[in-house]
Amino acid sequence: MTGAAVTGFATGFSLILAIGAQNAFVLRQGLLHQHVFWLCLFCAGSDALLITAGVAGFGALTEAIPALPVVMSIGGAIFLTAYGLSRLWAARRAHEGMNIAGRGHSLGRTLAIAAAFTWANPHVYLDTLGLIGAVSTQYEDWHLRLAFGIGAVIASFVFFFSLGYGARLLAPVMSAPRAWQVLDAIIGLVMLAIAAKLVLNLV
């Protein structure tokens, strides 16, 4: 079960690591020290709900549609390959430093913005319901699948709280364009590795 949990953690962490609007917003709020706990809890909790639905619901769907795991794995591998290559391509060019200027928001508005970044983002559903759900189907034993899902959920909590509370430590580093290039390169390689694993599981 430990191996499945570690795989779930690595998969979830790698997918969520990609810099996007949601992560940038959490980083900004962390730099401003505003509503960090509730924002991180909201983002991680939302991920937990979606990951649980993906891991649990995918099993029921595969019973009704046996070919679905293969289709999703192929689709996931294609998407991850394309996304990984795009991150590697992005690593070739410099990035502008993140703009953290501006006034903060109330707790209600902060969570409303986070909700929009989370629930209105189609990539969130692809990552949690689709990709994590698809990867979880490699575990036929429900104990292992549960461990995989728990690992992915823990990854979300670790990531968001680390990002929110560690933002001030990252600020001097991430202000350098080179740091963003390195991060993009790492994300790209991890995405390609996950895509390769999905394909190998089909062989």
Transcribe 18-46 into DSSP letters: S--HHHHHHHHHHHHTSSHHHHHHHHHHH
pLDDT (tens, 9 = 90+) of the chain, 203 residues, equals 777 888 888 888 888 876 666 887 888 788 778 899 999 999 999 999 988 888 887 656 666 777 777 777 787 788 778 878 888 887 887 554 455 444 567 899 899 988 887 887 666 777 777 788 778 877 777 788 889 989 999 999 999 999 999 988 877 776 677 777 887 788 788 778 878 877 887 77
Q: Specify the number of domains making up the chain.
A: 1
What pLDDT was estimated at residue 101?
46
| Whole-prediction pTM | 0.68
**Helices and strands counted in the chain (H then E):** 10, 0
Q: How far is CA 57 from CA 87, 95, 106, 114, in A?
A: 30, 39, 36, 25
Q: Domain limits at 82? A: 2-202
What pLDDT was estimated at residue 125?
74
Dihedral angle at the C-alpha atoms of 98, 182, 19, 40, nearest 10 degrees? Answer: -90
What pLDDT was estimated at residue 100?
47
